[in-house]
Structure 1
């Protein structure tokens, strides 16, 4: 029984190590250029922070503004500035706008960024309000991002 438990533990730890390495390899910083590799879900993810909360932003070039799930906004202590109604591929949604300090791995940041907060959003979306300040190019499976001049 002990041998089977040890084998199971080794397999579990090996899988966790492989999973962590795979996640880490999706983000690379090379000479001031951020390189994001497409994740298994088909999207590009950029690790960052909202205030002091670590988040995994979904890079969304189709989003006008950065959007956060309401639960995340509440954990970060964001205060509503006013209501907003947005139209998404899934239909119209009501939420509110707030200001947030957003930091991204690789040194990209936006202080007091106006963000849209939506109650039913599944993941934080990094929109063109931040991405539009950067230069980016895409090739199969890879997104390269450099700061704007």
Structure 2
């Protein structure tokens, strides 16, 4: 189990214990009115935190799944995009799958997280984005892994500008034998 999944599971267990304990406490009528109201507010806060967690992560089960046959299923998120998490040089990076992007485009923050210093790059290219033209620098990602699918020496571009996150474009999507949409599910197969 991944560390994030373990932490999330622990969070849900603690939340369940807090809510369950508060309900038992309230229903048993023990404690003073002020203490019962305090417990009620803790439960309300915990419930709001739980709802926010579900909203931010597109609900339970809203993440990509990877089968042993090399099939990746990515559900559409609330914003209508398909978000895929890949491991670049040992670090998880969350991408927007973008069939309109010609290649992999790393935002400066993601580049820095995987060991590439955006300040030391030669921005020799340019690209047109929704926010206008930006300068780009070619880089090579030593290792890009999605589950058991591992690619080495993957070409990408670092964007010099305000790119919040990173884009997984056609240069990488073309490495799959099949890219298809099944209702609100993006399927990638090798």
Interval of TM-score (by shorter of Structure 1 and Structure 2): 0.7 to 0.9
Moved more, 14-23 or 75-84: 14-23
Return closer, same or farther for 1:16/1:105 CA change in 2, 3 Å cut-off.
farther
**Paired residues, number:** 147
Structure with greater helix share of residues: 2
Query: Counterpart in 1 of 2:20?
Result: none
In 2, are the aligned partners of 1:81 and 1:98 still within 8 Å (CA)?
A: no
TM-score scaled by length of structure 2 = 0.67
Under a length normalisation based on structure 1, what TM-score does the superposition of the two structures give? 0.82
- Which structure has the larger Rg over C-alpha atoms? 2
Structure-to-structure mapping, 1:97-136, within 5 angstroms: 97-118=138-159, 119-134=161-176, 135-136=178-179
- Please list every run of at least 4 consecutive aligned residues from structure 1 whose deviation after the TM superposition is greater than 4 angstroms: none
Equivalent residue for 1:145?
188
Question: Where in structure 2 are there 5+ consecutive unaligned residues?
Answer: 1-36
Task: Say if 1:30 and 1:110 are closer, same or farther in 2 by CA, change over 3 A.
Answer: closer
Q: How many Å apart are 1:16 and its aligned residue?
A: 5.7
Unpaired runs of 5+ in structure 1? none
Q: Distance in 2 between matches of 1:39 and 1:18?
A: 12
RMSD over equivalenced CA pairs, Å: 2.3
> What is aligned with 1:22?
59
Q: Which moved more, 1:66-75 or 1:17-26?
A: 17-26
